[in-house]
Structures are given as structure tokens and as C-alpha cells.
Amino acid sequence: MAFLGVEQSLSGRRWVGPSVELDRAAEAMTQATELPRPLCQVLARRGVPVEEAMAFLTPQLRDLLPDPRAMKDMETAAARFVDAVRRGQRIAVFADYDVDGGSSAALLLVWLRAMGRDATLYIPDRIDEGYGPNEPAMRALAARHDLIVCVDCGTLSFEPIAAAKGADVIVLDHHLGGETLPDCVAVVNPNRQDESGDLGYLCAAGVVFLMLVEARRQLREAGEALGPDLMSLLDLVALATVADVAPLIGANRALVRQGLRVMAQRRRPGLVALSDVARMDSAPSSYSLGFLLGPRVNAGGRIGKADLGARLLATADISEAQSLAERLDQLNTERREIEEAVRAAAMAQAEERGFDAPLVWAAGEGWHPGVVGIVASRLKEAAGRPAVVIGLDGDEGKGSGRSVSGIDLGAAIQRLAADGFLLKGGGHKMAAGLTVARDRLEEAMERLSELLARQGADQLGPSDLKLDGALMPGAATVELIEQIERAGPFGAGAPAPRFALPDLQIRFAKRVGASHLKLSLSDGMQGKLDAIAFGAFDSDLGPRLEAHGGARFHLAGRLEINTWGGRQSVQLRLDDAAEA
């Protein structure tokens, strides 16, 4: 039965509330713990047993952090890394150009600096070199270094790693591995074919952090200096985990939670400068990492100089940090303009092709490779299906894909590359990259569509909106939201709680910017609440609510604390609505 009787909302979705079993579990937890019922509803949905509720609300990294040695090659990788530090060998860090790659590189650079060692940072140019190690770069680095550490890349880089003659290579990655591995000192990757997959949720920065934990263990066992406090590095791990959309489960939850506390201390010059240019006026949260800081760090790799983000995160110089942050903020503005042009063209093309296929895709001449991934995310959100967007240049197209829950896009694209339909391709479940010959584009997309259909992508429709329960405006207090936040952080794999606010009047509606809508809501008595609907005018939601005509609505979304002028108030981040 649809929650509040909403079979089809203004966005075409069916509302689904907690089951009878979840309601009973939440009630039992409320009675046993005296925690607020809405918080218990959230915990029950997460599958938290009553006896573990209090511990879940205070996750301890020491309890959740896995033993680094649970991953294959970890001891070998850390031993070679520590040996290079001891002997003063020349170290190069080869990183991917996104937030995860930049954060992973910064972790190593900051740690090495604290040990009195420098390292060469190398990040390939997205357009000229593409993703991951390439033979010329690896050959040149090997000629001048004793050890090359590849972070957030390298698992499938057989020829480039083989080209690194004279240097040892370590790979610290999380992308899907093939049946064989490159010939190098170590490949530490929880998504290797011969791993259990228990730690497959880690991003590359999480893997790098665990390698540093193992390095510290080896140094301690040898009675040597341990290096910097690893807890102080968790702001970088948190940023990478959220920005790379890694699921906030297991150790990731504790890593991000502790990382947000470290970031709030404002001790890392690069993140302080970036927070300031992004005009962050509240304590860091998963939202600010994913939507304010992450895109700016990414902007260098997307349309600017690839190493800007990593340099910003690693620098100890306040002036350099401010200069780099301002440059990245400027590039992010330019990126948004480029993205909007590509988004409009891709959306029109995909709509003409149809949103009911297992794969939604679009390709265009000269579309910037740095924004195709973001546009693929927009298509995925609009269609509720996996999406791929490709920029064509000469005889090739470079593209990026984004998936939906339950559909493993990375495995499908890896299979496509193995079968010869792509020049190159790989990734993980929710995101992947590819290079395709122009004359095989249609054929490759048709085959990818078939592979995704086998996973059930052709059966997907507008996803149900899952709600944790109903609240009246008067019950939505700052204190309640602060308590619910203890069940976080929220993000991928741990969706933010959503509540329905039934039968409300719209007292005020105002369009903000090109596509947003601000609302003032009332239950007709004492309860009042402000709301913001981002992107409301990209669908029927904005026009219908703006022209409400006095009608009453059920409204659904996430409750958050809005800080303005030193005062805190509750705001609803509106996701959906239905006529009451």
C-alpha cells in the first residue's frame, strides 16, 4: 500500500513507507532506549538491532577499521614503501586526476613530508593522456625514480607498468581487476578478482590510508619513528570517500565521521582555503564534501591543469593554498558553463532516442571529456537507468558512465572492452570510463545495452521514494535533526532519512535562480516550516507548486539545519510532492 496513498507523485513516483515489521522494530527501540521515534525509524531501516543502537550512534574507528593485512599484497607494499623511505630512495606518486586520486596522492605526500622525504607528483592530463598510467610517462618516471606508487589507478595497466624498467611499482587501487594482474611489486586492491570483496566499498584513499596504517605497524615493530598522527589525515580520506560516492557503510562510516571532525579543526591549508572560496558557513558535512569541495577539487582535472587539486590538498603553504583554491573555484565556474551546454544537447539526444531502453546514452562532437561524467549522472537521474555520455574527437570517442543501484556498469564495460567493442574501458559498479572507435560507437552501445538488460536494467522505472515516516512541522526541531544526524553520515549506501509532511498549505512560493523554488509551509495551526526545492523547474514539480492555487499537498524530503545570521532553523530540502 502506498504511503499516504501516494501512488503517483508530481514526479511520477510511488511513495513507500516503513513496513509493519520496521514500525514494530522502531517502536520497540523507542521504548528500550528512550530515543526519539523518528531516529529509531531511521535506525530500524538501517537494520540496527536494539541492543546495538547506542553503539551505532557513536561509531569508533578502532572498532570498525579493518586489519590492513586482510588485503592481499598489503604487507609487501608497505614493506617496499617503508624501505624506500629508510634508504632515501627517489619516489614518484602517479595518481588519477579526480578527487579520490588527488586525495590519495596528498595522503602520501603529506606523510612523506613528515618523514623528511619528498616525492614527485605525476597526474596525467585527462585529454592528452587519458585515465591511468601510460607508457611514455611511466618510462620517464622510471628513469628518474626507484619506486613508483600508482594510486586510484594501475590495476589494468599491464603495458605501462611493464614499461617502467628499472623502477619498482606498487599499485594502490579500488577499480575492478581482471583475471590477471600487472607484473609489479604489489597490487593492493579490495576489488581484485581473488579478494573476498568484503572491503570492496573502500575508495582508493581508504586503501592508501590502510597502507599507511600497515607502514606504521612495521615501523613500530622495527622500533623506528612512526611518522605523523594518522588520525590527522582523515579529512583527506573523508573527502575522497564522499566525492567518489563510496558507500558509507562499515569502516567508511567511521572514516568519514572522524574525518569531518578533523576538517572542522581547519588545520589543512588547502581545505581551509577551499572552504572559504566555496563560502562554507557551517560545519563540514557529507553534503559540503560532495557538492561544495569535491567539484572544485575535481575542476582542475576536468578542464584545467590536472595536478591542481592534489597540490592544493598536499600544500602546507597558506599563500599557495589560497592561490590554488581561487584558481580551482574559477575553473569550477567555467566547468558549470561547459557542462550546461553539453547537458542540454545530451538530454535532447537521449530523449529522442528514448528513456525506456536498458541504457540511456548520448554522443556529440567536441563534447569536453571533463564534463561527460557529470552529464551522464544527470541523464541517469532523469531516466532512472544507467547512462553513458561520449565526447567525439577525430576517430575516437571518450566517455563516462554512471549506474543505478543493482546494476554493475563497471563489469559490463570491462566485458565490452575484453570482447573488443571498446579500445579501453573499466571502472566500478556505479561509474566507469571508456574509449571507443567512432565507427564502432553504435555497435558498442547496442552491445552494452544488451549486457545491462541481462542485469535487469530494462525493467527499471521511476524509482519508488522510500520514506522513514511522517512528521508534522511542529515536531521538526533543531534538536531532533541533531539527534538524527548521529545516525550518519549519510550518502551513498546510507541514504539520508526522508520524511513526509502530510496535508500542508503553501503560504508562500518564490522561484530562485533558474530552476529552484523556495516555499513557506503551514499545517494551518501553529506548525510552520521553510523549504527549498533545488532543480524544481527541471520537472513538473516546480510549476505545479508555484501555481498551487491554495491546494494542500503532502511534501517529502530531508530535514536539515539552516544557519543564517548566527541563528539556526529547520528547513525541508524538498524531493517530491503530491496533492493531498
C-alpha cell at 540: 513538473
Domain ranges of the chain: 3-17+467-579, 19-58, 64-329, 354-459
**Which long-range contacts does 221-227 make (Cβ < 8 Å, 24+ apart)?**
224/86, 225/115, 227/111, 227/114, 227/115
Measured CA to CA, the distance from residue 338 to residue 368 in angstroms comes to 8
Contact 422, 436 (CB under 8 A): yes
Q: How far, in Å, CA of 393 to CA of 148, rounded?
A: 31
The confidence score (pLDDT) of residue 462 equals 61
The H or E element containing residue 273 is helix 269-277
Sheet with 424-427, strands from edge to edge, namely 360-365, 387-393, 396-402, 431-437, 424-427
Q: Which fold has domain 3-17+467-579?
A: OB fold (Dihydrolipoamide Acetyltransferase, E2P) (2.40.50)
The whole-number pLDDT of residue 422 equals 97
CATH number for the domain whose boundaries are 64-329: 3.90.1640.30
- For 299-332, the pLDDT digits (tens) are 999 988 899 999 999 999 999 999 999 999 999 9
pLDDT per position as a tens digit, 175-188: 999 899 999 999 99
Given a cut of 70, the residues of the chain with pLDDT beneath it are 461-462
Using CA atoms, how far apart are residues 16 and 541, in angstroms rounded to an integer? 19
| pLDDT at 461 (0 to 100) | 61
Q: What architecture does CATH give domain 354-459?
A: Roll (3.10)
Q: What distance in Å separates the CA atoms of residue 283 and residue 258, rounded to the nearest whole number?
A: 13
